[in-house]
Chain A
Amino acid sequence: MKLFRRDLHSLSGAYALDALDQGAESERFARHLDRCPSCASEVRGFAEVATALALAATTEPPPELRDRVLAAAALTRQLPPEVTSRARSHRARGRARIRVPWVPWLSGVVATAAIVVAVLFGFAQAHTDQELNQARAQNQAIALVLSAPQVKLLTHATTKGGVATVVLAADRHEMVVTTNGLPALPAGKVYQLWLIGTTKTVSAGLLPAATSGQTGPVLASGVVQGDMLGLTVEPAPGTAKPTTTPILSLPLPV
Chain B
Amino acid sequence: MNPSDSDASRFRSVPTDRRGERDLDDLLIHVARGDQIAFETLYDRLAGPVYGVIRRVLKDPSQSEEVAQEVLLEVWRTAARFNPALGGAATWVMTIAHRRAIDRVRSVTAAADREHKIAEVDTPHDEVAEAVEASLDAERVQRCLGGLTEIQRESITLAYYGGHSYRQVAELLNVTLGAVKTRIRDGLIRMRDCLAVS
- A: residues with CB less than 8 A from B are 7, 10-14, 16-22, 44-62, 65-66, 68-70, 72-74, 76-81, 87, 91-94, 96, 98, 110-113, 153, 155
CA distance A45 to B196 in the complex (A): 10
The listed residue (A22, A55, A68) touching B49 by CB distance below 8 A is: A55
CA distance A7 to B185 in the complex (A): 12
By a CB distance below 8 angstroms, the chain A residues around B68 are: 61, 65
With A48-B11, A73-B73 in contact, do A13 and B95 touch (Cβ < 8 Å)? Answer: no
By a CB distance below 8 angstroms, the chain A residues around B36 are: 70, 73-74, 153, 155
Contact between B138 and A56, CB atoms less than 8 A apart: yes
CA distance A49 to B141 in the complex (A): 9
The listed residue (B97, B156, B167, B181) touching A54 by CB distance below 8 A is: B97
**How many Cβ-Cβ contacts under 8 Å join chain A to chain B?**
218
Say yes or no: is B195 at the interface (Cβ < 8 Å to chain A).
yes
The listed residue (B10, B55, B72) touching A48 by CB distance below 8 A is: B10
By a CB distance below 8 angstroms, the chain B residues around A10 are: 178, 181-182, 185
**What are 12 pairs between A and B in contact, CB < 8 Å?**
A12-B185, A14-B165, A17-B159, A50-B91, A51-B10, A52-B137, A55-B49, A55-B137, A58-B138, A69-B73, A70-B40, A78-B77
Contact between A70 and B39, CB atoms less than 8 A apart: yes
Contact between A54 and B51, CB atoms less than 8 A apart: no
The listed residue (A12, A74, A94) touching B95 by CB distance below 8 A is: A94
By a CB distance below 8 angstroms, the chain A residues around B165 are: 14, 19-21
Q: Please, how many residues of chain B have a CB less than 8 angstroms from a CB on the other chain?
A: 81
By beta carbon, the residue of chain A nearest B47 is A61
- B: residues with CB less than 8 A from A are 3, 7, 10-12, 32-36, 39-40, 43, 47-53, 55-56, 61, 65, 68-69, 72-73, 76-83, 85-88, 90-92, 94-95, 97-99, 102-103, 106, 131-133, 135, 137-138, 140-142, 156, 159-161, 164-167, 169, 178, 180-182, 184-188, 191-192, 195
By beta carbon, the residue of chain B nearest A93 is B86
By beta carbon, the residue of chain B nearest A59 is B52
By a CB distance below 8 angstroms, the chain B residues around A153 are: 34, 36
By a CB distance below 8 angstroms, the chain A residues around B184 are: 13-14, 17, 19
Contact between B95 and A50, CB atoms less than 8 A apart: yes
> B132, B188, B195 — which one has the most chain A CB atoms within 10 A of its CB?
B188
Measured between C-beta atoms, what is the minimum distance from A209 to chain B in Å?
24
Contact between B86 and A59, CB atoms less than 8 A apart: no
By beta carbon, the residue of chain B nearest A69 is B72
The listed residue (A17, A48, A55, A62) touching B12 by CB distance below 8 A is: A48
Contact between A78 and B76, CB atoms less than 8 A apart: yes
By beta carbon, the residue of chain B nearest A44 is B87
Other A-B pairs beyond A13-B181, A18-B102, A45-B192, 17, CB < 8 Å:
A10-B185, A14-B181, A17-B184, A18-B99, A51-B88, A52-B137, A55-B10, A55-B52, A55-B137, A56-B138, A58-B3, A61-B48, A65-B68, A69-B47, A72-B73, A93-B87, A113-B33
By a CB distance below 8 angstroms, the chain A residues around B188 are: 13, 16-17, 45-46, 49
The listed residue (B48, B76, B80, B180) touching A80 by CB distance below 8 A is: B80
